[in-house]
Amino acid sequence: MLNIAKIRKEWFIEKIETLKKDGTPYSEIAARLGIKPQYLNLIKNTGRGASEKLTLKLCTTFNINHNELLERIRTDEKKLPETPKGKDSDVPFFSQKKIPLYDHHTSDMNRNRTGEANGQASHGEVREWIDTGDLFPGATSAVRHYGDSMAEYPSGSILVLKQLIDLTLIIWGRNYYVETQEISVIKRLQNGGKNHVIGYSSSEQTYPDGRLIHEPVKIPKESICHISLILGCVIKEFSGRAIPVAANTV
C-alpha cells in the first residue's frame, strides 16, 4: 500500500534538515511556519505526521518546489506491484496526474488540532483525489468553485490549478486562485505596484445604480499564503452539475 502520509513526512523532515544545515535554526523555521518548536520536534521524533497544509506552507515560505514531493510520490507508486486485471486493489490510486480536490470556500481560521497558527488560510481537508489525465500537465491541485463573480466558471465547477512558488512569475491578466491570511478568492490579477496585486472579477453584473456588484479587490502581497494559476475548468454534466447562485444584492 502506498503510504502518502509517510512519504510526505519523510520529505518534510528532509527539507527541514536541509534548512538547518544551511544555517536556519529550528526555532526560526517553526516561527515562520506559524507553529511551536515543540510541534516541529514531534514531527521529527515521534509518529506525528506533517499535514498537507503545513507542507505547502513550508514550500511557500522557504521557496521550495512542491512538485518535488509529488514526483517522489509518483516514483514510489511506480515501484508498487501491479494489480492483476479484474481484481480490486486496496492501494490508494495516485497516478501521474492524480491531484487533490478541495472546496475553495473551506478555510481554517482557528487553531486546529495540529497546532498550526491562527489566521492561516487553507485549502481545507482533501475530500477526494481526481485524475486530470493528459489534459492539464503540471497541475498540482483542484478546487470546487462556488459563486458568480467569474462569469467563465459556473458555480459548482472544478478548477484545475498549478501552484506558484515565485510570485514574480505571475502573468498579469490571467486568472488565479489566491489564498490570503483571511480569505480565498478567484480573480483576474493585475499589477498593483510594489506591495499589492489587484484582483478583478469577469462578471459585469451591476446594482440598479450602476455600481459593480463584484468590485476589484486590492490584495497586499505580504498577506498571500498561496497562489495558483487556473489551468482550466471542468464541469460534470450529469453527476455534480453547476449550482445556480443568485447575485448578492445586500
Cut 0.85: pTM above it: no
**Domain final residue pick, 26, 59, 94:** 94
Residue 37 in contact with residue 113, Cβ under 8 Å? no
Residue 212 lies in a domain: yes
Q: Which of 14-23, 79-88, 133-142 has the lowest mean pLDDT?
A: 79-88
Q: How confident is the model at residue 32 (pLDDT cuts 50, 70, 90)?
A: very high
**Nearest partner of 155 among 200, 230, 108, 105, judged by Cα:** 105
- Based on the fold, state whether residues 157 and 229 are members of the same structural domain: yes
Q: Which of 42-51, 71-80, 97-106, 161-170 has the highest mean pLDDT?
A: 42-51
Neighbours of 161 (CB within 10 A): 27
pLDDT in tens, 77-116: 777 666 554 444 444 444 446 788 887 543 332 333 333 3
pLDDT in tens, 223-237: 888 889 999 998 876
**Domain final residue pick, 60, 94, 128:** 94
- Based on the fold, state whether residues 169 and 130 are members of the same structural domain: yes
Query: Across-strand partners of 100?
Result: 129
- Supply the pLDDT for residue 70: 80
- Based on the fold, state whether residues 78 and 104 are members of the same structural domain: no
Residue 246 lies in a domain: no
Residue 226 in contact with residue 59, Cβ under 8 Å? no
Residue 72 lies in a domain: yes
Mapped onto helix, strand or coil, the DSSP state of residue 176 is strand
> Residue written as cell 497544509?
53
- Based on the fold, state whether residues 80 and 142 are members of the same structural domain: no
* H helical segments located in the chain: 4-21, 26-33, 37-45, 52-62, 67-78
Q: What are phi and psi of 34, to 5 degrees?
A: 80, 25
Mapped onto helix, strand or coil, the DSSP state of residue 224 is strand
Q: How confident is the model at residue 35 (pLDDT cuts 50, 70, 90)?
A: very high
- Based on the fold, state whether residues 42 and 89 are members of the same structural domain: yes
